[in-house]
Structure 1
């Protein structure tokens, strides 16, 4: 299957961590690019950066990556670790031309579970998280990159992660009020945890750095579950959003067909 020249009003990206899983990573990246999408990656320490840099020279555009290696938002020790590994991540992002560096409330293991589960956020944790993200915004300003805080769901994929909901992430991002700290609004996670997605997009619009999508249940491409993504796409156009939309989901069957379904859903 070859990509079709379909004009989406959004910049469409696909996570190479979740599709074409039968191929080596560099081949996944190349095929996503050939099909007309930007490419998202996760933990840069697990990849051959030389190979990814060569792919960039071929024309691959990387949309986002995980912007830290270890650390947590809500306690002093974890905050220092998060800030240190965020600083280590910036040169990698610049090497690969990646404009957005993704953060979570705490470090995640290989299964997406928190390295330290903290299902209840205390007042001191909130204050520490706000201060930590303020320093992240300062780092982003110094280095001219954007960090984005991603919401997660705790019911299915990420139990025990603090500051997980879109409402929590938005509150923190708003309170910091930095041009270099935005929201990675993941609508798959938000549907499980909160719902009311179009209103959520409207509320979060000034702070959105990127939107990520997958359907519910199953975390596969749009059209495989309950979320009316074409309606969300139309609403985003009406709201004036023309930024990046990334598929962070698995293919329900054929990978290339899944990517075309994603493209179609976001070409209102």
Structure 2
């Protein structure tokens, strides 16, 4: 029953990994769907894909690889190989987008293969690898998205983490099957100037993810003026997905209502 909740046509989604964490995962998915949001998941390998598909939820995004990285040849080959496997999982869930990072992340969000800096050859290899992945997406008519991260708080040592770097890579690949997952929580920590960033990145965006700073909680708990960003997106004509990838500061229902209000204005409150 997921619907577009924003008057400007923006579709709202929420991460089942970070909300309603007291519930079994399948129940989280059902709960988020019942409230009218699309659903996002991370690692699909530990989940019952058939049960998730049978839930009736609309899945907006999922992790698009199991392991690998954009830096060395072996890691690149592994990234492409597991991206192929992820496409098969996306078929089961009918997820239109599959998310990528510069390198695999462990259970604490730390890079499996940390990198202090990237060289010219690293950039060439990353671009070539992402071209290979975009070609896979084209064959299955599914879009891979490259997410920016922050290295100051959550993901130190991740290569190609800044939004400026993910933008450069997506521009270099120049394929509709590789887009940006523009995460504004990470961008605020790493770069700031969010409305200008969204404006600059708009033609490349596959989806936008949000949470507030500090704490990675719902909009309204920190320093980011998300209603202003929502108005800017409306003025820019953005009609894609905005997803809450953040923790609930106190209650998941309250968090989703705050998220909806930030991007959809006032209206009927969510209810249990």
TM-score (norm 2): 0.94
Cα pair distance change 1:213/1:148, threshold 3 Å: same
1:179 paired to 2:188:
no
**Which consecutive residues of structure 2, in runs of 5 or more, have no partner in the other structure?**
266-272
Which residue of structure 2 aligns with residue 91 of structure 1? 88
Query: In 2, Cα distance between the equivalents of 1:242 and 1:264?
Result: 17
Match of 1:11 in 2: 11
Cα deviations by residue, 1:193-227 (Å, 9 ceiling, x for unpaired): 00000000000000000000000000000000000
Query: For residue 39 of structure 2, what is the aligned residue in structure 1?
Result: 39
Query: Distance in 1 between the 2:137 and 2:54 partners?
Result: 25
Counterpart of 2:130 in structure 1 is 133
TM-aligned CA deviation for residue 7 of structure 1: 4.2
Which residue is equivalent to 1:69?
A: 66
What is the correspondence of 1:139-218 to structure 2 with a 5 Å cutoff?
139-218=136-215
Q: Distance in 1 between matches of 2:23 and 2:92?
A: 24
SS of residue paired to 2:139 = helix
Conserved in 2, the CA contact under 8 Å of 1:68 and 1:103? yes
- Aligned Cα root-mean-square deviation (Å): 1.4
Q: Could you tell me how far 1:101 is from its partner in structure 2?
A: 0.2
Match of 1:27 in 2: 27
- With structure 1 as the length reference, what TM-score do the two structures score? 0.96
Instruction: Report the counterpart of residue 222 of structure 1 in structure 2.
Output: 219
Number of equivalenced pairs:
263
Partner residue of 1:79 out of 76, 79, 101: 76
Which runs of 4 or more aligned residues in structure 1 lie more than 6 Å from their structure 2 counterparts after TM superposition?
A: none
